[in-house]
Structure 1
Amino acid sequence: MTITVQLRPATQEDALCLSVLATQVFLDTYATTGIRPAIAKEVLHAFSVSAFASLLDQHGTFIYVAERDGHLLGFSQFTLGTRQESVTATHPVELDRLYVQEPFTRMGLGSQLLHASETSAVQRGAEVMWLTPWVHNARALKFYSIKGYADVGSTSFLMDGEAHENRVLCKQLS
């Protein structure tokens, strides 16, 4: 089943809804055993309204939203020029986040947002897109594999001083 949405660049007016959507998806994905201080601190810091407002003003960072009837259902965020030691490219781009609200997963939104991000990144001169999904996020790892992303290494995501293994995935963009 594919859902029809409007894909568009996010604006400052979206910061509030992006904050709440990101919080919800992050907690659904990473807080499967409940909330503890490290997760709570990460959410309050990384997904605040002011954090999204700053990202929307950050040069080289782009956020696309999937919207239907005035409701945000998902978003993608990428940053040009971000480097990762496992990725060799002159003009890399990092897919920082691709979040889809759970009731709308498996409806093509992730594919649409990923395609929009890849296309936009190519138009801005990027040659390789990379990302670092959590090693225990089997659904994301499968999704990116199907989309042509290769596993090129491992990295750690630090959350309140705790290291969590992530995979480094990348794809040559055309």
Structure 2
Amino acid sequence: MENIEISRVTVNDIRLLQEIGRKTFYETFSSSNTEENMTKYLEEGFSEEKLISELNNTHSEFYFAVIDDKVVGYLKLNFGASQTELQDNSSMEIERIYVLQEYHGKKVGQLLYDKAMQVASEKKVNNVWLGVWEENPRAIRFYQKNGFVEFDKHIFVLGDDEQTDIMMRKDLSS
């Protein structure tokens, strides 16, 4: 098994973040969505301006998973008001864990997840939550295996398509 390093992303890594963000999102969702909707989302969701503003936000953190100097996945965490929902200081959102398809099954996602839980512990949050597309059974199983339970649903808009995300939470307060 290759050595996987987890490192904090800075604004100097903007190009790499844009590249891994677009590539992993495309790999994960392109087969289930129209090319127009994918293109629109990839341009807007991973624009340089948007990523710079997210990287400069003190309530968000990005981490890369790196194997042999190659970025193979990344993690985005949100705290406080930066969370897409809930927005209370006692919780943390895992907004994104994405891994290149060729590295699926190599524990990269688990290591990024472990990093998220380490940060949650350092920040002393009571719970960690996330939204996962209802048609992504692989991700849903991964989070269930790690102790997350469904608590709500919300709508995620991709281009002109409204999709349902299952919101899952893990209680850390016990």
Fold shared, TM-score > 0.5 on shorter chain: yes
1:65-103 CA distance string (max 9 Å, x none): 111222111111010022636x9x761111110011111
Q: CA deviation at 1:171?
A: 0.5
| Structure 1 partner of 2:65 | 66
Q: CA deviation at 1:152?
A: 1.1
| Structure 1 partner of 2:103 | 104
Q: Which runs of 5+ in 2 are unaligned?
A: none
CA contact (8 A) 2:73 2:97 kept: yes
SS of aligned partner of 2:105: coil
Structure 2: how far apart are the matches of 1:84 and 1:56?
Answer: 19
| Structure 2 partner of 1:7 | 6
TM-score, normalised to structure 1, is 0.89
TM-score, normalised to structure 2, is 0.89
CA contact (8 A) 1:73 1:100 kept: yes
Structure 1: how far apart are the matches of 2:75 and 2:84?
Answer: 18
TM-aligned CA distance change 1:129 to 1:33, over 3 Å: closer
How many residues are paired up?
171
Q: CA deviation at 1:162?
A: 2.9
Identity %: 20
CA contact (8 A) 1:15 1:50 kept: no
CA contact (8 A) 1:78 1:93 kept: yes
CA contact (8 A) 1:157 1:163 kept: yes
| Comparing 100-109 and 27-36, the one that deviates more | 27-36
Structure 1: how far apart are the matches of 2:33 and 2:129?
Answer: 29
Q: Which runs of 5+ in 1 are unaligned?
A: none
Structure 2: how far apart are the matches of 1:34 and 1:170?
Answer: 27
TM-aligned CA distance change 1:7 to 1:90, over 3 Å: closer
Q: Indicate the RMSD between aligned Cα atoms, in angstroms.
A: 2.0
Structure 1: how far apart are the matches of 2:53 and 2:35?
Answer: 26
What are the equivalent positions in structure 2 for 1:1-174 lying under 5 Å apart? 2-33=1-32, 35-81=34-80, 82=83, 84=85, 91-173=90-172
Structure 1: how far apart are the matches of 2:168 and 2:43?
Answer: 27
